[in-house]
Amino acid sequence: MKIRAPLSLLFLLVNFHLAAAEVRNDSALWRPRLATPAIVALDTPEHRDISIEIKASPKAYGWQAVVTNDLKTWPCELVSAKFSTIHQGTEPGWQIKFRVPADTSPELFHLSVACNEFTSTQHQSVSVIRAFSDDFYVLHLADEQIVNEKHTDPSGQYFQMVGTAEEMVWMQEPINLIHPRFAFITGDQIDYNGALDGWNNWHNWGYEPGGHKVFSEKETLEIETRLAKMYIESHRGYRVPYVETPGNHDVTPEFKPLFKSKTIWHPISAKFYEENFGQRSWSFRMDDFYVLLHDWSGRKMHEWATADYTASLADPSIHYRLVGQHFVESKSFDSHAFIPDKADLMLVGHGHGVKTIQTDPYYIYMDGPAFRYGTTGFFNFRKTTDGWSCDQTQTSRDVKKDVWHLFNDNGIVKKVRADQPDAMNIAKNSVTITNDLPEEFYDGRVRFVLPKGKYRATQNGTILAQYDCVNDSKTAVLVKVVIPANGSVRVEVESTR
């Protein structure tokens, strides 16, 4: 399995001359992160602002930031910096705003922030889009549940009922081509906590023979660490942001002990999730569109989500509210799921199936599991004169059209695919995309990396950005393409000189 290596810090320092001490402290950058990215838009200066929470001493100074993709670095403008509190007001830190340049390409970026004390980088943490008011769609995935690297079942699972890093890589090509505004992940990114019961999948982690085993705290943490690392590395090739919240296989119930132990695992798993993934309950806005992702597992998280959501209801500038969490109720756990009286749409996972849980007063849909053939739900949002509408809530969705698998047996065929090895680094002047799914994707993406020059789209594409890169020897050309349902399209660019 090929996993992309993280961007070198040296590359950032050489290309932007960040005036920081030569200390790397990635964990200091609390938000944004892979699982809690920032989404900014190029349509107004204020929409280009990245809100950053970072841990540093009150004496920190000289704040600088860059956003970087695999080809180029864009320096950001400092808008404001204030020593205050971060992490929902629970610890001291800096609240900083940086503004991306107006000529930033609308892509997914790594963010590096520096001060006199350190440099901190979080990968795939800033997504730049053209305008918040553009129509968009999202892909809903739940229950990735990575437990091992390689699959043993044709569906991509490791045996059955658990996922693999390998299938996360298989899903990259179709998701990158489809190019949702974000992938919406409603929990169970990894599957380690069977160790708490002494049996569930533990043989998958290299312990033989099968059966029960009493796991020590050290062994359980080792499993959790291994799977989190595998999850993050298997997602390196994604070119769209992933917004995530944990499930019961990521953060355990509040009072559940380690098997045959008095060790309560919830505070351990909650701290681990925050250190490796980020904030457990959190929200973000895309102008008048509000999104809340909620961790079901704790009373404090529920209190925060309630207060944050109540504030959104009191804000007349917000016209749509999307809520995501792992489940709405569970007989197995003391759940602190958040179920508001009023919302526009809620998406959940956990049930390992496709289901309409509720239609009134708002729709609640379940999708998943992603670990089986990359099961994915599609939701399309259209800008209206007084807010937003979702195609899948005008009436109950058509699951034959709006829910699909992203790959076939053993990942051999991706349901959306290009005839080039990497549709975001195309070295030729044309590419053909084939779509086996019953949905048109009006905001698809490809990116050409060609000899330095000026280019125009000649067939089935709209150029969104082009910029020189690779030591000024190449030109990247980012192209929007409408990918037809159950069909194919050829995209072509040519030099203008």
Alpha-carbon span 490 to 423, nearest angstrom: 12
Provide mean pLDDT across the span 52-78.
Answer: 98
pLDDT > 70 fraction of the chain, expressed in percent and rounded: 92
∠242-246-250 over CA atoms, to 5°? 120
Maximum distance among all Cα pairs of the chain, rounded to whole angstroms: 73
Please state, in angstroms and as integers, the Cα–Cα distance from residue 27 to each residue in 30, 122, 123, 438, following that order.
Answer: 7, 8, 12, 42
Q: Report the run of H or E that residue 196 belongs to, with start and end.
A: none
Amino acid at 174: P
Residue 182 CA: distances (Å) to CA of 33, 137, 242: 14, 8, 6
Residue indicated by tokens 């069977």: 194
DSSP 3-state of 213: coil
User: Which pair of structure tokens corresponds to residue 411?
Assistant: 């990942």
pLDDT the model gives residue 256? 86
Confidence of residue 182 (pLDDT cuts 50, 70, 90): very high
pLDDT band at 68 (very low <50, low <70, confident <90, very high): very high
pLDDT digits (tens, 9 = 90+) for 372-430: 999 999 999 999 999 999 999 999 999 999 999 999 999 999 999 999 999 999 999 99
> What single-letter DSSP state applies at residue 428?
S
* Structure-block tokens of residue 357: 């849980």
**Residue 269 to residue 252: CA distance in whole angstroms:** 6
Neighbours of 350 (CB within 10 A): 26
Q: What is the predicted pLDDT for the residue at 2?
A: 37
d(CA 168, CA 365): 23
3-state secondary structure of 245: strand
Tokens representing 116 are 């006199």
The whole-model pTM stands at: 0.93
Task: Provide φ and ψ at 277, rounded to 5°.
Answer: -115, -40
Phi, psi angle pair for 74, to nearest 5°: -115, 120
Q: Assess whether the previous peptide bond of 361 is cis (omega < 30° from 0).
A: yes
The two tokens of residue 58 are: 């009150």
Quick one: pLDDT band at residue 237, thresholds 50, 70, 90? very high
Other residues' Cβ atoms within 10 Å of the Cβ of residue 178: 25
Q: For tokens 């949002």, what's the residue?
A: 381
Residue pLDDT, tens place only, 355-377? 999 999 999 999 999 999 999 99
Q: Are strands 455-459 and 487-495 parallel, antiparallel or unpaired?
A: antiparallel
What DSSP string describes 456-492? EEEES-EEEEEEEETTTTEEEEEEEEEE-TTEEEEEE
Mean pLDDT of 432-451: 98
pLDDT the model gives residue 255: 86
Please report the pLDDT score of residue 207 as a whole number: 62
Cβ–Cβ under 8 Å, residues 39 and 129:
yes
Tell me whether the omega of the peptide bond preceding residue 6 falls within 30 degrees of 0, making it cis: no
Burial call 140-176: b when 16+ CB within 10 Å, e when fewer: bbbbbbbbbbebebebbbbeebbbbbbbbbbbbbbbb
Q: pLDDT class for 1, splitting at 50, 70, 90?
A: very low
Domains annotated on the chain, with CATH = 9-129 (2.60.40), 136-410 (3.60.21), 416-495 (2.60.40)
The yes-or-no verdict on residue 7 having pLDDT over 80 is no
Phi, psi dihedral angles at 9 (to 5 degrees)? -60, -35
pLDDT tier for residue 12 given thresholds of 50, 70 and 90? very low
DSSP 203: G
Q: pLDDT digits over 336-360, tens only?
A: 999 999 999 999 999 999 999 999 9
Report residue 400 CA to chain centroid gap.
25
Rounded-to-integer distance, Cα 54 and Cα 77, Å: 17
Q: Which pLDDT value is given to residue 200?
A: 55
Query: Helix crossing, 217-234 with 266-276: angle to 10°?
Result: 30
CA distance 261 to 271: 19
Taking the C-alpha atoms of residue 101 and residue 122, their distance in angstroms, rounded to an integer, is: 19
pLDDT at 204 over 90: no
* Cβ neighbours, 10 Å, residue 22: 8
Token look-up 């050309």 returns: 477
Over residues 282-329, the pLDDT tens digits come to 999 999 999 999 999 988 999 999 999 999 999 999 999 999 999 997
> What is the distance of C-alpha 39 from the center of its chain?
11
